[in-house]
Amino acid sequence: MSNKEEIKNTDETINEVLKDPTKKRKAEDEIEIDLNQPVPLSKKQKRLLRRGKITLEELNAKYNLDSKSVEEYKKELSEKKDEEGNSSPRKEEESGDEEKEKTSTKAKREKKFGVWVGNLAFDTVKEDITRFIVAKTKENDEESQISEKDILRINMPLAKNDGKKMRNKGFAYVDFKTEKQMEAAIALSESALNGRNLLIKNANSYEGRPDKNDLVAASKNPPSRILFVGNLSFDTTEDLLRKHFQHCGEIVRIRMATFEDSGKCKGFAFVDFKDETGATNALKDKSCRKIASRPIRMEFGEDRSKRQVKRRPAQDDRQPRKPSFDIKTTTNTSTDSTPPPIRERRPNSYSQRQPSYKDSNNRLKSSVALASAQRGSAAIVPSQGKKITF
């Protein structure tokens, strides 16, 4: 066979193997690839070119790019630019419409006059609130009179009860059309609904709510010279706490809870100032609320020196106890000095009875007979059989 015929046979076998992917390929069936040929642009390379992270010259120097794929990429870019240029006025119009819609929605939100309703019974429903407001404002003027159409929205958040009956959280938000309707609803505050007096306020006013940043008012304990510091890291030391709070006032001592084995901080401590101003200054100062970029928890500690312990009176100061019975009624009013006669105790017939050990047939009871019976020995009983040997 000549070389040409051998090459044809190998090409035919390779084509047959490629047609059937289930067959395993042999080492002889491997395909030869020429690495010197140009490479087309990949998706990743196109993405990098669009973002400007690499240029065509750099890619061509590395991978020997195919000129056809480069021209196709340039055509795609030019077509996209033309589409963007044509669609730009449309986009401007659409963006203008979106801005108008946003402004209109903002205006609508601003026009809404909302009310916050608190102290609701947990069984109250939205329909109860609408009926309550409509019935209470029937006798008002036309402007302040509220109907069901005038109530734009009722937002009543519900609580999760693990599959039980859903209940409200005790408050709701109600929106009206006009300001006078809102004022008429606020005037209904302290009126009863489902057995509870409602608290109705303007939804935009935050009067009466506690300030989260005011730690002095948020403290559970009354003002004292002791400051409780929590959420400390385990690496905190007394020197660090002293340096952190020394500008607030004169520190008498620092009591820090530590572990017995390592001696490190347990996460909380008490800072004793000379007076109450030091602790209040620490609570008001915002720079004291973090130690080593870690937020800490602060509040007034309990001052045990101000405790009023009730002391018991001395034995001399104690008053004699009054008897539980009346002395006058129990005293003997008769003038005779003779003592009262002593009563003789009668013999108890039950104590003279003797237990009977016989039954109705005048026989000994089984329990009595067995009590005096001879017990079997607990020793090993000797065998009485015969041993046979074969």
What class does CATH assign to 113-162+169-202? alpha beta
Hey, which residues does 349 pair with through a beta bridge?
Answer: none
Taking Cα atoms as reference points, which of 232, 231, 225, 268 lies closest to residue 249? 225
Taking Cα atoms as reference points, which of 63, 71, 89, 153 lies closest to residue 117? 153
Residues 346-356, buried b or exposed e (16+ Cβ, 10 A)? eeeeeeeeeee
Q: Which CATH number fits domain 226-305: 1.10.340.30, 3.50.50.60, 3.40.50.1000, 3.30.70.330?
A: 3.30.70.330
Residue carrying structure tokens 């300001």: 179
Whole-angstrom Cα distance, residue 369 to residue 366? 5
Question: What single DSSP character describes residue 54?
Answer: S
**pLDDT tens, position by position, for the chain (390 residues)?**
566 677 777 777 777 766 666 556 555 556 666 667 777 888 888 888 888 888 888 888 888 788 888 888 888 888 887 776 665 555 555 555 556 555 555 544 455 789 999 999 988 999 999 999 999 998 888 888 898 888 999 999 888 776 677 788 899 999 998 989 999 999 999 999 998 999 999 888 877 666 677 888 788 888 999 999 999 999 999 999 999 999 999 999 999 999 988 889 999 999 999 999 999 999 999 899 999 889 999 999 988 777 666 666 666 555 666 655 555 554 455 555 666 666 666 665 555 566 677 887 788 787 777 777 776 666 666 677 777 775
Predicted TM-score (pTM) of the model is 0.38
Query: How far from the centroid of its chain's Cα atoms is residue 271's Cα?
Result: 30
Query: Boundaries of CATH 3.30.70.330 in the chain?
Result: 113-162+169-202, 226-305
Taking Cα atoms as reference points, which of 131, 141, 132, 146 lies closest to residue 181? 146
Determine the straight-line distance between the first and last CA of the chain, rounded to whole angstroms: 95
Task: Find the DSSP H helices in the chain.
Answer: 3-19, 43-51, 56-63, 67-111, 126-136, 179-186, 215-218, 238-245, 276-284, 327-330, 366-371
